[in-house]
Structure 1
Amino acid sequence: MADSTLWVACLTAGTAIVASWVAGRGNMNAAKTQAITAAQADRAHASLQARRESYLEVVEQAHEMGALYRDIPEILATTPSDARRNAVQEHTKRLRAAYGPFTRAGDFMIVEGGDLAVEALQGVFRDSRRIYMCLLHSENSERALEEYEDAIRSYWNSVKIMVQQMREETRRLRQEGEAPA
């Protein structure tokens, strides 16, 4: 009987050791899985934040350009003269100075943004250039004001499309669970 008691005690101790080892491995795997999941959620949140910040910066810069574009009709309405030529030169300098931060924000967005939002941004840049070229060539165009009005409508439409694409991209990412809400 003593032999069987020793045998049962050894078997019980061995079983306890194995069970402890298995439970420890299970807890370790669960902790590892939880850490990986948390890290993925943090990366997704950081990615969404970077994307959101890049989107906001581009929209802000687009509106700053738009504020400068509001001065153009007054310049174009002036009779062609040295005063108009000087006004055009001064305003193109201001536009070029504002365009630098706009393109830098756009470059960051191209890195962080979704394909459709980036494509829409290209449309905004295209229309912005069109307005700038309209101003530059206003001396040679009898329809400069009409061309500008068409270009500015197209610009604001492009900005609107870009914002819609940004919103859709963010919504899609949240629905897919790539980033927490």
Structure 2
Amino acid sequence: MGDTGLWIAGLTGATAVLASWVTSRGHVRAARLQAEISKAAQEETRQGEVRRASYLAFLEQAHLMGVEFRQTPSVLSIEDQQHRRARLAEHRARLREVYGPFRHTCQVATVHARSSSAIEACDRVFAASRTVYMALGDIADGVTGASAFYTALDQYWTAVDSLGKAVRLEES
């Protein structure tokens, strides 16, 4: 009976060591998996924050362009053609200054967009801003009347509004 007790004690000890080893491997795997899930969740959160920040920056720049566009009616109301042309040239130069950050934030927002609808909305705002600028050039050159600006401006604000809607849909 003494040999049997020793054999049972050895088997019990080996089983305990094996169980401990299996348990520790399970804990290590679980910890590794939990760390990977946590890292993925943090990365997704970070990317979401970057995306939201890029959209907000682009929308802010779009509104800053709008502030500049709001200066246009006073320029267009100038009766003297020479003076009006000179003021339009100055106004377009100011628009080009604001255009750099606007273009940059558009590109950043497009890079971080998750959906094709958000990318298309960014592109529409960008294209509409160009249309407004080109309309001002045509007005300065006498090719078209002031109504072209107002039509282009309506398209611009419609595009900005559509961008806001696309961003809200993407974020929900």
- Equivalent position of 2:104 in the other structure: 104
> SS of 1:78's equivalent?
coil
Cα deviation code 1:22-68 (max 9, x no counterpart):
00000001000100000000110010001000000000000000000
The answer for the alignment partner of 2:11 in structure 1 is: 11
Aligned twin of 2:139 = 138
Q: Which moved more, 1:137-146 or 1:23-32?
A: 137-146
Any residues of structure 2 matched to 1:52-71 within 5 Å, and which?
52-71=52-71
Q: What CA RMSD, in Å, does the superposition of the two structures yield over aligned residues?
A: 1.2
Measured after TM superposition, the shift of residue 147 of structure 1 is: 1.0
Aligned partner of 1:87 in structure 2 is 87
Alpha-carbon deviations, 1:106-133, whole Å to 9, x = none?
1111111122111111111111111111
Structure 2 partner of 1:161: 162
Tell me what 1:179 maps to.
none
1:30 and 2:30 are equivalent in the alignment? yes
Shift of 1:149: 1.1
Task: Name 2:72's counterpart in structure 1.
Answer: 72
**Structure 1: runs of 5+ lacking an equivalent:** 172-181
> Whose RCO is larger (CA < 8 A, sep 6+)?
1
Report sequence identity in percent.
36
Q: Return the offset for 1:7.
A: 0.5
Structure 2 gap segments, 5+ residues each:
none
* Distance across 2 between alignment mates of 1:142 and 1:95: 20
Normalised by the length of structure 2, the TM-score is 0.95
Aligned to 2:123: 122
